[in-house]
């Protein structure tokens, strides 16, 4: 069986939020968006940041893309 992975276009809006939860041993976490939604992120989506340097409640900005499992944060960085 062949599985296809579809990456949908980004929304084009830069989102702001805070790190809600970090799962350090697995390299991922969740961001609480300012609109109240929760978005998954993986350490590979960080830009200019080290995963080990992140803290819960830290403010971040990010783009969102759709994935087969739901919305995912990409280009995660510190607000300018």
Angstrom distance (rounded) from CA 14 to CA 29 = 19
pLDDT at 13: 81
First to last CA, the chain: 45
- pLDDT tens digits for 10-19? 456 889 999 9
pLDDT tens digits, 30-48? 999 988 889 999 999 999 9
Helices and strands, number each (H, E), in the chain: 0, 5
Provide the pLDDT for residue 12: 65
Give the whole-angstrom CA distance, residue 61 versus residue 78: 6
CA distance 60 to 17: 6
Cα-Cα-Cα-Cα dihedral sign, residues 33, 59, 54, 75: positive
Decide: pTM greater than 0.85: no
Q: What CATH number belongs to 15-77? A: 2.40.50.140
pLDDT at 1 over 70: no
């Amino acid at each position: 069986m062949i599985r296809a992975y579809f990456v949908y276009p980004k929304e084009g809006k830069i989102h702001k939020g805070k790190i809600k939860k970090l799962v350090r041993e697995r390299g991922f976490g969740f961001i609480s968006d300012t609109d109240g939604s929760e978005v998954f992120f993986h350490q590979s989506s960080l830009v200019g940041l080290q995963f080990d340097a992140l803290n819960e409640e830290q403010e971040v900005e990010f783009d969102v893309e759709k994935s087969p499992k739901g919305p995912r944060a990409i280009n995660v960085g510190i607000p300018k």
